[in-house]
Amino acid sequence: MPSPAPLQIGSIIDTLINDECISTMARMPEKSIDVIFADPPYFLQLEKQLRRPNESAVEGVDNSWDNFAGFPQYDEFTKEWLIQAKRLLKKNGTIWVMGSYHNIYRIGTAMQNLGFWLLNDIIWIKNNPMPNFRGRRFTNAHETILWCAKNKNSRYLFNYRALKQLNDEKQMRSDWYLPICSGKERIRTSDGKTLHPTQKPVALLYRIVLASTKVGDIILDPFCGSGTTASICKSLDRRYIGIEREYEYIEAAKRRLANSTSGGTTDATALALHLHEPRAQARDIPFAALVENGLLSPGEKLESGCRQFQAMVTSDGTLAYQQRRASIHKMAAELAGRESCNGWTYWYYSGEKNAREEAGSGTNRKKKKTQRVPLDVLRQTLRTTLSQKQNDNSCTIDDERSSQKSYS
């Protein structure tokens, strides 16, 4: 019997595939996925029907997809899909895998053995967990999510600023207090029963997608269930690929996607979906570039915001204060007595030079009052100038090509 044909990434983007995840992933091209979110079977090993104190049955996880012969079989299954996951990730891609105490430690061991680089373990603390009806253990009120880069050298994406703004301008911590999926969010069958026992809340996937992807990224969910990941990707203008072996789940996910709103690509939605990451933008303009491009001169003085310190700009793009030379950030941290400090906002330069140039030439020129301006303003000026030069250069090249065609 011939082997199934390879899957071209362009043909499966924004689709849900009803099949086994390992065999399907094996047909996909390597290094084609930006981020993977995986919520694999937990292997809960339930032996009896769980009941409430009033003897009503609890809708637990007793599905066939969560049954394995034992830990060796589960470990082999875990290893096989993780091998495919690593093959599919781009060199700077990341993977999120979640689970409970039943399986997460076995998964974590397998991931580290395969060379994934652990970035964080996120603890999802459930605001409204299911109680422990038997009263013989602590209420199980959390799950663990492992966030890993493909390897130690991956230059992975983390939208720090977006997560900080999402958390009311405080750094996002690794303990996430979010309610479990319930109420109208919970997808149910026609007779009112829970469709998928481990359906994840929208808020959880929203945070994961926002943290590690950008518009247009391709996200794979190899255990997509009722389609929460795909639904979030659609609303945030990311591309998704979902794999799910259970026909009932995949059909529910398709109906869910049909009723979900797309982020779209209009100017208005593009602005709404764009993540503002000034820290990432800052890397394109080093402080030395201000000296190289003549916006600052060696020997010129910069003043701290508190006006207590003055440091001299050097020819190599460092600052000199007394006998000490360091970067704008290290010098600012030392003088401010902190472990770290943003030199772009700590240091100020005199706006007198630029003010004189703007006043124009001539004997009747009036000297404008000197202004203290944050160093970051100068960086923004250079960024704009370089961007304009790049655009002008592109236009010139296009004009030259057009001229060559007209004479050919």
**Which one is predicted more confidently, 120 or 64?**
120
Highest mean pLDDT among 151-165, 348-362, 380-394 belongs to 151-165
Residue 3 lies in a domain: no
Residue 262 lies in a domain: yes
Domain match, 219 and 272 both: yes
End-of-domain residue from the set 256, 276, 296? 276
**Which one is predicted more confidently, 146 or 188?**
146
Q: Is 351 helix (H, G, I), strand (E, B) or coil?
A: coil
What pLDDT, in 10s, does the model give residues 75-96? 999 999 999 999 999 999 999 9
Domain match, 352 and 320 both: yes
Rounded Cα distance between 50 and 67, Å, is 17
Residue 315 lies in a domain: yes
pLDDT at 16 over 70: yes
Domain match, 83 and 124 both: yes
State residue 391's pLDDT score.
Answer: 58
Domain match, 371 and 238 both: no
The pLDDT of 142-164, averaged and rounded, is 94
State residue 355's pLDDT score.
Answer: 37
State residue 130's pLDDT score.
Answer: 77
User: Are the CB atoms for 92 and 144 separated by under 8 Å?
Assistant: no
Q: Give the pLDDT band of residue 260 (cuts 50, 70, 90).
A: confident
**Which one is predicted more confidently, 60 or 195?**
195
pTM recorded for the entire structure: 0.67
Residue 52 lies in a domain: no
The pLDDT of 395-401, averaged and rounded, is 44
State residue 36's pLDDT score.
Answer: 98
Domain match, 300 and 234 both: no
DSSP 178-206: EPPS-GGGS-B-TTS-BS-TTPPPHHHHH
Rounded Cα distance between 232 and 316, Å, is 47
Domain match, 388 and 289 both: yes
Domain match, 294 and 383 both: yes
CATH number at residue 118: 3.40.50.150
End-of-domain residue from the set 253, 276, 299? 276
Q: Give the pLDDT band of residue 278 (cuts 50, 70, 90).
A: low
The number of distinct structural domains making up the chain is 2
State residue 360's pLDDT score.
Answer: 44
Residue 351 lies in a domain: yes
pLDDT at 395 over 50: no
The pLDDT of 323-337, averaged and rounded, is 94
**Which one is predicted more confidently, 404 or 288?**
288
Domain match, 106 and 213 both: yes
Counting beta carbons within 10 angstroms of the beta carbon of residue 92, is it exposed (0 to 12), middle (13 to 18) or buried (19 or more)? middle
State residue 265's pLDDT score.
Answer: 58
Residue 1 lies in a domain: no
Domain match, 191 and 295 both: no
Mean pLDDT computed over every residue of the chain = 83
Domain match, 269 and 315 both: no
For the chain, state the CA radius of gyration.
Answer: 28
Residue 4 lies in a domain: no
Rounded Cα distance between 209 and 232, Å, is 8
pLDDT at 150 over 70: yes
State residue 274's pLDDT score.
Answer: 74
End-of-domain residue from the set 276, 298, 327? 276
How large a percentage of the chain has pLDDT more than 90?
53
Domain match, 146 and 243 both: yes
Lowest-confidence segment of 179-183, 204-208, 395-399 by average pLDDT: 395-399
pLDDT at 374 over 50: yes
Beta pairing class for 89-99 and 142-149:
antiparallel
State residue 180's pLDDT score.
Answer: 87
The pLDDT of 134-143, averaged and rounded, is 86
Residue 2 lies in a domain: no
The pLDDT of 363-389, averaged and rounded, is 73
The pLDDT of 274-292, averaged and rounded, is 70
Domain match, 255 and 306 both: no
Residue 177 is part of which domain span?
Answer: 9-45+57-276
